[in-house]
Amino acid sequence: MNENNIIVRNPHGVIDILPQTHEYFTYIKKVVRHRCRQAGFRRISPPMLEYKDVFQKTHGQHDDILNRLFTCTDGQQEAFSLKPESVSGIIRCFIEHEMNTWPQPVELFFIEPALFHPETQTHLKTKKNALSQYNEFGTVVLGEDDPALFAQLIQLAHKVLQDLGLEALYRLQINNLGCPECLPKFLADFQGFYCGKERALCERCKNFLADNPLRILECREEDCKILLELAPKLDPYLCKECTSYHGEFLEYLDEMALVYEKNIRLIPEMNFYNRTVFSYVNDSGERVCGGGRMDGIVENLGGPKNVPVFSFTMIIEKIINAMKQEKIHVPSKDDVHIFVAQLGKEAKKKCLTLMDQLREEGIKTVGALGKGSMREQIDIATKFNVPYMIIMGLTEVRENKAIIRNMKLGQQRIIPLSDVIFEVKKVIGEKKLDKYSPGEILY
Ligand SMILES: [Zn+2]
Ligand SMILES: [Zn+2]
């Protein structure tokens, strides 16, 4: 607590991304951008705010996420929500910007923050460590129905996990959830089976039974699992189209040597996925990636009919946790090359110009301009763990020279001030310089 008795902490569920973690973010984003661009995907960013109606229409009225939206109004009638995921906003973009007139398929990727309320107001308990703010990346493919394209999308997710060094940690699981043609018949029989047996179900499943019965499939309570064994299975209800699409899709996965397992209890976290769905899960059943087809989603939001859509998303925070647990280190972009130390006002003046020149050349430079003694400055340089130090005192200023010190070897030599940049570049190495060019693709 501070002196005003105000507790200084961030709100429950939101996160501070500190510099050490940002190194992971930078690295992951780089991998994602590289893999997506390589596959011809283009980046899109829907805004943080959408009309609440957008999420209601894309998720369907029974998705628990709708009870967890941060919602506000414009002071009159319109209700807005902060996005709990980015896919809905992208579907809205597709309709609003008439992307159906673009060359098809439209292949998009996103790296975005998202937010929802951690305390659910319904029957679901907050999951332990559930985040209300998180960052996700993902892809959306619209306008082309080929199962080969969908298989290719999974290959992209796989390559990202591979690049991050995590592919051995997660298994690809596939399920077929049927379509509006075949699913309702199954759901009717499935709900009918539980009629009179409700008391044997856990509270969670009891609450899902009427509105969202598929969620019963994923329950881990022993009693629910036993009952589920006896319940009707979805497979025999699947229509010809669902079966043939799924079969062809699996053939493509085999062709690409993507190892998968069928999991008839795999239910996506978001309600808008249907038919063929997939997840990457670890041994504890935690999923890092989820995706699937999203038939009808464009039409539900008021867009053109029969636009095929499939997508996946990954939660960046989950990936970072996994990388840290696996002790996967990422190259640090924050490492400093040079520490500039000075003694006396005249030296400080010279160093201001020198530091600017070094930085312009792509040499990551810090100095402790506010500190007085050389001892203090060397202590700071040690904390930064810099490989080299430039030192200027009264003598060096007078003679137009500087000292370059190799911190590891503890050796130093005097060089002309005009040679400093050349010498530093030589010891750091041209490849390690942090060069920025506006022409470079940075998005
Ligand atoms: Zn079907
Ligand atoms: Zn249950």
Find the CATH number of the domain harbouring 313.
3.30.930.10
Confidence (pLDDT) at 73: 85
- Taking the CA of 178 as reference, the closest ligand is 1
Confidence (pLDDT) at 123: 41
Confidence (pLDDT) at 56: 92
**Is residue 377 located within the same domain as residue 279?**
no
Residue among 101, 152, 137, 42 nearest 307 (CA): 101
Q: What letter would DSSP give residue 200?
A: G
**Is residue 378 located within the same domain as residue 313?**
no
Span from the CA of 391 to the centroid of ligand 1 (angstroms) = 73
Confidence (pLDDT) at 116: 85
Residue among 340, 404, 334, 405 nearest 366 (CA): 340
Domain carrying residue 364 = 338-432
For residues 320 and 25, give the distance between their C-alpha atoms in angstroms, rounded to a whole number. 8
Total-model pTM? 0.86
CA distances from 202 to 124, 219, 225 (A): 12, 9, 10
Span from the CA of 142 to the centroid of ligand 2 (angstroms) = 35
Span from the CA of 201 to the centroid of ligand 2 (angstroms) = 5
- Taking the CA of 241 as reference, the closest ligand is 1
Residue among 177, 312, 174, 329 nearest 252 (CA): 174
Enter the tokens of residue 152: 């290719």
**Is residue 267 located within the same domain as residue 356?**
no
Encode pLDDT of 252-273 as tens digits. Answer: 999 999 999 999 999 988 889 9
**Is residue 424 located within the same domain as residue 288?**
no
In a domain, residue 194? The reply is: no
**Is residue 118 located within the same domain as residue 253?**
yes
**Is residue 251 located within the same domain as residue 306?**
yes
Q: Return phi, psi of residue 246, to 5°.
A: -60, -45
- The domain that contains 356 carries what CATH number? 3.40.50.800
Span from the CA of 358 to the centroid of ligand 1 (angstroms) = 64
Confidence (pLDDT) at 122: 41
H or E segment to which residue 372 belongs: none
Cis-peptide, bond into residue 105, ω within 30° of zero? yes
Span from the CA of 234 to the centroid of ligand 2 (angstroms) = 18
Q: Count how many domains the chain has.
A: 2
What are 155-163's contacts with CB under 8 Å, separation 24+? 155/256, 155/258, 156/35, 156/36, 156/39, 156/41, 157/280, 157/289, 157/291, 157/312, 157/314, 158/258, 159/35, 160/31, 160/32, 160/35, 160/314, 161/280, 161/288, 161/289, 163/31, 163/34, 163/35
Q: What is the mean pLDDT of residues 59-65?
A: 82
Confidence (pLDDT) at 439: 66
- Taking the CA of 224 as reference, the closest ligand is 2
**Is residue 259 located within the same domain as residue 313?**
yes
Span from the CA of 216 to the centroid of ligand 2 (angstroms) = 6
Confidence (pLDDT) at 2: 58
Examine the fold and report which residue of 325, 346, 368 is the final residue of a domain before the chain moves on.
325
**Is residue 298 located within the same domain as residue 342?**
no
**Per-residue confidence at 227, pLDDT binned at 50, 70, 90?**
very high
Span from the CA of 441 to the centroid of ligand 1 (angstroms) = 43
Examine the fold and report which residue of 325, 350, 371 is the final residue of a domain before the chain moves on.
325
Mean pLDDT of the chain: 90
**Is residue 302 located within the same domain as residue 372?**
no
In a domain, residue 75? The reply is: yes
Confidence (pLDDT) at 124: 43
In a domain, residue 439? The reply is: no
Span from the CA of 292 to the centroid of ligand 1 (angstroms) = 14
Span from the CA of 32 to the centroid of ligand 2 (angstroms) = 36
- Taking the CA of 207 as reference, the closest ligand is 2
At position 263, the amino acid (one-letter code) is N
For residues 19 and 25, give the distance between their C-alpha atoms in angstroms, rounded to a whole number. 10
Question: Of the ranges 113-122, 161-170, 353-362, which one carries the lowest mean pLDDT score?
Answer: 113-122
With b for 16 or more beta-carbon neighbours within 10 A and e for fewer, the 365-404 pattern comes to bbbbeeeeeeeebbeebeebebbbbbbbbeebbeeebbbb
Span from the CA of 177 to the centroid of ligand 1 (angstroms) = 8
Confidence (pLDDT) at 300: 95
In a domain, residue 224? The reply is: no
In a domain, residue 38? The reply is: yes
Q: What is the mean pLDDT of residues 200-226?
A: 91
In a domain, residue 374? The reply is: yes
- Taking the CA of 194 as reference, the closest ligand is 2
- Taking the CA of 235 as reference, the closest ligand is 1
Q: What is the mean pLDDT of residues 42-55?
A: 95
**Is residue 320 located within the same domain as residue 350?**
no
Confidence (pLDDT) at 442: 53
List 279's β-bridge partners, or say none: 173, 290
Q: What is the mean pLDDT of residues 160-179?
A: 95
At position 413, the amino acid (one-letter code) is R
Span from the CA of 88 to the centroid of ligand 2 (angstroms) = 29
Span from the CA of 375 to the centroid of ligand 1 (angstroms) = 74
**Per-residue confidence at 129, pLDDT binned at 50, 70, 90?**
low
In a domain, residue 213? The reply is: no
At position 125, the amino acid (one-letter code) is K
For residues 137 and 161, give the distance between their C-alpha atoms in angstroms, rounded to a whole number. 12
Confidence (pLDDT) at 440: 62
245, pLDDT greater than 80: yes
Examine the fold and report which residue of 267, 301, 325 is the final residue of a domain before the chain moves on.
325
Residue among 129, 147, 134 nearest 248 (CA): 147
**Is residue 165 located within the same domain as residue 271?**
yes
In a domain, residue 206? The reply is: no
Enter the tokens of residue 256: 């690409």
**How many residues in the chain?**
443
Span from the CA of 206 to the centroid of ligand 1 (angstroms) = 26
Percent of the chain with pLDDT over 70: 94
Span from the CA of 243 to the centroid of ligand 2 (angstroms) = 28
**Is residue 372 located within the same domain as residue 248?**
no
